[in-house]
Amino acid sequence: MSVPSGQVKVAIRGVTRQFPTDEAAIEVLQDIDLEIREGELVCILGPSGCGKSTLLNIVAGFLEPTRGSVTIDGEPVVGPDRRRIFVFQERGVFPWLTVTGNVAFGLDGLGAAERSERVRHYIDLVGLRGFERAYPHELSGGMKQRLEVARAFAVSPDVLYLDEPFGALDSITRLTMRRELLRLWRAERKTILFVTHDIEESVQIADRVVVLTARPGRVRRIVEIDIAHPRDLSDPRYIELRDAIFAEIGLAHQI
């Protein structure tokens, strides 16, 4: 149940990325090979500076790889695309638009009736009813993040890229947001690439966790999280997988 057996959606092949500096090129990513199946939720996990955000930006078409390629549904990625929406940390909502204006942002092509119907649906879905006319600076961090997720879902993308989306939130809000994301994901079965440095987070939500090495980022190990949702955080299997990843990264989990 937790591992969909769909066909390959995103194929990352031999992706290497260097950033030029005055001295020499710094290699941030090295030979990344990864396939993500349709409807799968994959976490890319690694220490800061390992290039996981760079990888996500390459897959989303904002950056070009130095070598290698990314294909989605067999087509090479050449730039950003409205079928695949990138969710930035809460900074991505447009502060000059209301909640409604933000959710409606990508819906120009629709008729007025369908547009307002969709806007209402997604505002409800992320629990922002009653805040339709509020501006982002009047919302909390968690609400802004939900707003950005709603804006992304509203255009019905096949793929969502989330770059440490809950990193700036407090720990309670973060837990709620994970549950909300899983609820939305189950309701609509998007393919999700989720970048995080939080081991617990990755084991709680992902079908598979891709552990990257420190710079240059390489795929160190791919861990399948074979636990059904909703996941019990005291389940021995959960603890076993979590500890395995802690060990993989070379951290004991006692403090």
The residues binding another protein (CB under 8 A) are 60, 62, 79-82, 84-86, 88, 91-92, 94-97, 105-106, 135-137, 155
Q: Which is nearer to another protein, 22 or 108 (CB)?
A: 108
Q: Which is nearer to another protein, 90 or 201 (CB)?
A: 90
Distance, CA of 195 to CA of 171 (rounded, Å): 17
Short-list 180, 151, 186, CA closest to 166: 180
The nearest distance, CB 110 to another protein, in angstroms, is 13
The nearest distance, CB 228 to another protein, in angstroms, is 33
The nearest distance, CB 60 to another protein, in angstroms, is 7
Please state the separation of Cα 1 from the chain's center in Å.
Answer: 20
The nearest distance, CB 86 to another protein, in angstroms, is 5
Distance, CA of 166 to CA of 164 (rounded, Å): 6
Short-list 218, 213, 151, CA closest to 184: 151
Interhelix angle 141-154/171-188, rounded to 10 degrees, is 10
The nearest distance, CB 134 to another protein, in angstroms, is 10
Q: Which is nearer to another protein, 46 or 92 (CB)?
A: 92
Distance, CA of 64 to CA of 96 (rounded, Å): 30
Distance, CA of 146 to CA of 123 (rounded, Å): 9
The nearest distance, CB 211 to another protein, in angstroms, is 27
Q: Which is nearer to another protein, 10 or 223 (CB)?
A: 10
Helices and strands: H and E segment counts in the chain? 7, 10
The nearest distance, CB 109 to another protein, in angstroms, is 9
Distance, CA of 69 to CA of 31 (rounded, Å): 10
Q: What element of type H or E holds 147?
A: helix 141-154
- End-to-end alpha carbon distance in the chain: 34
Tell me the β-bridge partners of 60: none
Q: Which is nearer to another protein, 4 or 106 (CB)?
A: 106
Q: Which is nearer to another protein, 90 or 207 (CB)?
A: 90
Q: Which is nearer to another protein, 42 or 60 (CB)?
A: 60
